[in-house]
């Protein structure tokens, strides 16, 4: 049995190793003492420098520079510069990542890009139970251009779905938003390519938590959320990736705009796409949101993805073991894969007692009230997501102890906790 | 001849009238003393409360609430709430405006919406010299769905372009981004409707400067920038409008996402659009950017559009008269319409001496260095845009005096000023 001292020892030992990430937690702001944040799958922690970066954009930018900001500051360079800063943790080339718009908007951009690139094939393959926004994007994209959608129940059906040779693009989430099950990025991309299709990956629940290597995997396209593990701030701009093999393509962006023109300030009446990802800039950059994200981007440039991955593994393997040891007798089971390489950022728990719609939400809310910030997904998934750059092993001990106490007390069944949870 | 005392008298007189907007300038932050901002067509002034609103989103939201922000704060309500706050100055119903994404992205959304609504008509009419991003959006939208683009040189050709009865939507900018010429919102919408087409208006260079009445004009759709006269902060989310007659339509948004589903948190695998503008929420709201904009939204709820319009008229009529009186002998001409109802937010000047590409940019840059923040557009447009809620008449006197001095000195011809201006 692991005890709290063992967890403290784990923290001290990782603090001491020369290649540790110990210094990084000091680059993030802390919440109130006693609150344990296991919600990096929803909103990652705030870099300490974020208020200063945003404050500068407001005061020196908006108040003083006003329109001079477009010429005299980095406002117009941010989307590419932020993308370059994130490229290391994504395993991508510095020029192949762009930060702009939302994950859903970027899904639309790249679904259409893939359909354009792989014409006349016109089938889009998606999982039936993928995160709904990804599904809605695929449904709307095929409706718009008279293409076709092909549902699969899971990635195991992919070979069959590809067999007819009519698939233009397969859009997959690398990590399931409920169970945290992680797909095989390399193997599935290879399978997709073997059938002449293109691979569009959503890395929202992986990027910034575990090591991913987009370019090495040969992924054609990828998108991901900016505000989860990447710590860009709530509702931060998302990112998108295009493999360099497609950089010179002549395919127009579906959402063409002035910022993605090959020569924006020529004010050419005819659209000509910029190279690679840059063409997927549509409107004016979100200057203030980008300033918030720039604080995280500064950190990501310094993070070795392999050390990040090892730290994430150390934390989440411990979390699983603590749940096994302290909560199995209360009917708690680990619903995420036990092998780290098959998991994404969070660990999902299920409970014998939690069956009806809203039960997981009530338990999550009760845990929040007990100072452990977690999230749930209907019907029964409780998600715990420590951020590898800030979480300490001992916090996981404390969180699991509070979970056990809550289950023992039965307090979470109080009707006041039965409200929706995001 | 007007002198500086007359301008001061105008300020005192507007300060004294009971229905004046005098109190409003105190709700905005000032720039450094001596700098005159005539760039509200590019980046409007910062509301005094903006840093506090943003600071709260960062500290109480991001740092402390983390994922609880989605449940326990206004994060998810912002797009509709901000839209409701802007609706008064747009002459729209409170539920018919949404704040989200960029102007260009919103152009795409509404072009496709109009094409869907007016099918099988499939022609999109745009002006050849409209702001390039609007053109690129139309070019890309028709390419995506095998629709057709029909160019017109100007609105005078609209009747002819509509005659064949095949036009689905006419996308017009209410105000020309170079000359500030304002089209006839009511008359052209009527003409478009008479031919069975739908009207999509871009109000970027009008909204927040002059009175517009979208619902009364019967406009089907509209979009506009959030960071110009509306003072949402650089790169702020844009707005979009749909007339209530289309609110119940079954047309899917081209950029469907979870936030625009009729029941987002049901996680329905099939998309069902929310009502009216709400379906055009795609991804997660831009929380921090929305917090910045909320400071302006609070102000716009209190502004009477007719008083705003009168103040804008008083300021820009004076600006034109001062240029006539003080700069006509130096070859300066007013390129904007002289009748206020035919102008948008800015006043455009041209110069006998300014002919080559880059000359207007050099003059604008020299003026900036002389403490008058203006903007230019190639080849020869110098744009001066006082914000009606903050500018004082006497500032216009000072700005024109500095322009005259600069032209007399010839300093603006210095090579260092020959660089691009946005």
Distance CA A339, CA B141 (A): 45
| Min Cα separation A296/chain B (Å) | 13
Q: What is the DSSP letter of A63?
A: I
Task: Please give the CATH architecture assigned to the domain spanning A4-30+304-417.
Answer: Alpha-Beta Complex (3.90)
By C-alpha distance, the chain A residue nearest B368 is A68
Cβ count within 10 A of residue A356: 12
For residue B355, is pLDDT > 60? no
Contacts of B110 (CB under 8 A, 6+ apart): B200, B221, B223, B240, B242, B280
**Catalytic position from the list B24, B37, B131, B351:** B131
Q: What is the ipTM of this complex?
A: 0.96
The whole-number pLDDT of residue B422 equals: 40
The whole-number pLDDT of residue A420 equals: 47
Tokens representing B181 are 């010429």
* A126-140, A291-305, B376-390: least confidently modelled range: B376-390
Examine the residue annotation and report whether A369 is marked as an active-site residue of this protein.
no
Asked if the Cβ–Cβ distance from B282 to A32 is below 8 Å, we say no
Which ranges in B45-100 belong to alpha helices (H)? 50-56, 69-72, 78-90
pLDDT in tens, B113-147: 999 999 999 999 999 999 999 999 999 999 999 99
Angle at A335 between CA A332 and CA A337, to 5 degrees: 135
User: What is the percentage of chain A residues whose pLDDT exceeds 90?
Assistant: 89
Within 8 A of B66 by CB-CB distance, chain A residues are 31, 37, 39, 42-43, 45, 373
Mean pLDDT of chain B: 94
Average pLDDT of the residues in B361-390: 92
Average pLDDT of the residues in B180-187: 98
Q: pLDDT category, A421, cuts 50, 70, 90?
A: very low
Tokens representing B24 are 């409003």
User: A–B: how many Cβ contacts below 8 A?
Assistant: 283
Q: With beta carbons less than 8 A apart as the criterion, state whether B36 and B374 touch.
A: no
Q: With beta carbons less than 8 A apart as the criterion, state whether B305 and B89 touch.
A: yes
Examine the residue annotation and report whether A241 is marked as an active-site residue of this protein.
no
Using CA atoms, how far residue A163 sits from A138, A160, A201, in Å, is 20, 5, 20
Phi, psi of A272 (to 5 degrees): -135, 125
| Min Cα separation B42/chain A (Å) | 6
Distance CA B367, CA B353 (A): 16
Put simply, whether A282 touches B (Cβ < 8 Å) is yes
Average pLDDT of the residues in B360-379: 91
| Min Cα separation B1/chain A (Å) | 32
Distance CA B45, CA A63 (A): 7
Asked if the Cβ–Cβ distance from B133 to A101 is below 8 Å, we say no
What strand order describes the sheet that includes B221-224? B97-99, B239-242, B221-224, B198-202, B167-173, B123-127, B148-152
Contacts 24+ apart (CB under 8 A), B83-89: B83/B239, B83/B277, B85/B294, B85/B297, B85/B298, B85/B300, B85/B301, B86/B207, B86/B230, B86/B239, B86/B297, B86/B300, B88/B300, B88/B301, B88/B303, B88/B305, B89/B207, B89/B208, B89/B212, B89/B230, B89/B300, B89/B303, B89/B305, B89/B308
Within 8 A of B35 by CB-CB distance, chain A residues are 64
Asked if the Cβ–Cβ distance from A133 to B283 is below 8 Å, we say yes
User: What is the percentage of chain A residues whose pLDDT exceeds 70?
Assistant: 95
pLDDT in tens, B197-256: 999 999 999 999 999 999 999 999 999 999 999 999 999 999 999 999 999 999 999 999
Distance CA B42, CA B31 (A): 16
The whole-number pLDDT of residue B421 equals: 47
For residue B350, is pLDDT > 80? yes
Contacts of A67 (CB under 8 A, 6+ apart): B39, B42, B43, B373, B375, B422
Within 8 A of A268 by CB-CB distance, chain B residues are 132
Mean pLDDT of chain A: 94
pLDDT in tens, A205-233: 999 999 999 999 999 999 999 999 999 99
| Min Cα separation B316/chain A (Å) | 19
Q: pLDDT category, B20, cuts 50, 70, 90?
A: low
- Pick the more confident residue, A359 or B83: B83
> What does CATH list as the number for A52-300?
3.40.640.10
The whole-number pLDDT of residue A414 equals: 87
Angle separating helix axes B393-409 and B305-327, nearest 10 degrees: 30
Examine the residue annotation and report whether B202 is marked as an active-site residue of this protein.
yes
The whole-number pLDDT of residue B143 equals: 96
Q: With beta carbons less than 8 A apart as the criterion, state whether B187 and B176 touch.
A: no
- Of the candidates A144, A257, A286, which has its C-beta nearest B133's C-beta? A257
**N-to-C CA span, chain B:** 33
pLDDT in tens, A162-180: 999 999 999 999 999 999 9
The 3-state secondary structure of B387-408, one letter per residue: CCCCCCHHHHHHHHHHHHHHHH
Angle separating helix axes B4-16 and B393-409, nearest 10 degrees: 160
Report the C-alpha dihedral over residues A352, A357, A358, A360, rounded to 10 degrees. 30
Put simply, whether A283 touches B (Cβ < 8 Å) is yes
Q: What is the DSSP letter of B32?
A: S
| Min Cα separation A421/chain B (Å) | 7
pLDDT in tens, A402-413: 999 999 998 888
Examine the residue annotation and report whether A131 is marked as an active-site residue of this protein.
yes
Asked if the Cβ–Cβ distance from B104 to A255 is below 8 Å, we say yes
Put simply, whether B104 touches A (Cβ < 8 Å) is yes
Average pLDDT of the residues in A80-103: 98
Distance CA A101, CA A82 (A): 13
Q: With beta carbons less than 8 A apart as the criterion, state whether A317 and A325 touch.
A: no
Within 8 A of B377 by CB-CB distance, chain A residues are 267
Within 8 A of A37 by CB-CB distance, chain B residues are 66
For residue B15, is pLDDT > 90? no
The 3-state DSSP class for residue A49 equals coil
Examine the residue annotation and report whether B178 is marked as an active-site residue of this protein.
no
Closest by Cα among A290, A58, A289, A74 to B28: A58
Tokens representing B82 are 């901000």
For residue A354, is pLDDT > 60? no
Asked if the Cβ–Cβ distance from A66 to B373 is below 8 Å, we say yes
Domain spans in chain B, listed from the N-terminal domain onward: 4-30+304-417, 52-300
For residue B14, is pLDDT > 90? no
Put simply, whether A155 touches B (Cβ < 8 Å) is no
* pTM over cut 0.95: yes
- Of the candidates B55, B63, B267, which has its C-beta nearest A46's C-beta? B63
């Amino acid at each position: 049995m692991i005890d709290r001292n063992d967890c403290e020892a784990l923290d001290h030992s990782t603090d001491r190793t020369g290649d540790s990430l110990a210094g990084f937690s000091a680059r993030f702001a802390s919440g109130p003492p006693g609150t344990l944040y296991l919600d990096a799958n929803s909103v990652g922690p705030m870099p300490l420098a974020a208020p200063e970066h945003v404050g500068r954009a407001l005061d020196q930018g908006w108040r003083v520079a006003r329109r001079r900001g477009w010429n005299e500051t980095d406002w117009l360079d941010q989307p590419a510069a932020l993308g370059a800063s994130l490229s290391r943790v994504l395993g991508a080339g510095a020029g192949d990542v762009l930060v702009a718009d939302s994950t859903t908007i970027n899904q639309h951009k790249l679904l259409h890009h893939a359909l354009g690139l792989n014409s006349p094939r016109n089938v889009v393959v998606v999982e039936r139970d993928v995160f709904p926004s990804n599904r809605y994007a695929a449904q709307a994209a095929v409706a718009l251009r008279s293409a076709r959608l092909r549902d699969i129940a899971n990635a195991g059906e992919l070979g069959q779905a590809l067999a007819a040779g009519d698939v233009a693009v397969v859009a997959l989430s690398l990590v399931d938003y409920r169970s945290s099950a992680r797909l095989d990025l390399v193997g599935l991309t290879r399978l997709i390519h073997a059938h002449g299709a293109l691979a569009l990956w959503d890395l929202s629940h992986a990027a910034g938590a575990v090591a991913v290597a987009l370019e090495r995997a040969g992924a054609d396209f990828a998108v991901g959320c900016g505000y989860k593990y990447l710590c860009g701030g709530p509702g931060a701009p998302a990112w998108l990736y295009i493999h360099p093999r497609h950089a010179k393509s002549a395919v127009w962006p579906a959402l063409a705009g002035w910022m993605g023109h090959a020569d924006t300030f020529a004010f050419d009446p005819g659209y000509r796409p910029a190279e690679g990802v840059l063409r997927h800039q549509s409107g004016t950059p979100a200057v203030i949101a980008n300033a918030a994200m720039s604080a995280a981007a500064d950190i990501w440039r310094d993070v070795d993805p392999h050390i990040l991955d090892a730290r994430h593994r150390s934390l989440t393997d411990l979390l699983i073991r603590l749940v096994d040891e302290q909560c199995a007798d209360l009917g708690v089971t680990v619903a995420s894969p036990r092998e780290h390489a098959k998991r994404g950022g969070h660990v999902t728990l299920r409970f014998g007692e939690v069956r009806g719609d809203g039960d997981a939400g009530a338990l999550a809310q009760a845990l929040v009230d007990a100072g452990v910030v977690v999230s749930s997904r209907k019907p029964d998934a409780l998600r715990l997501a420590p951020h590898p750059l800030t979480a300490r092993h001992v916090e996981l001990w404390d969180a699991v102890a509070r979970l056990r106490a809550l289950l023992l007390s039965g307090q979470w069944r109080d009707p006041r906790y039965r409200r929706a949870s995001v």
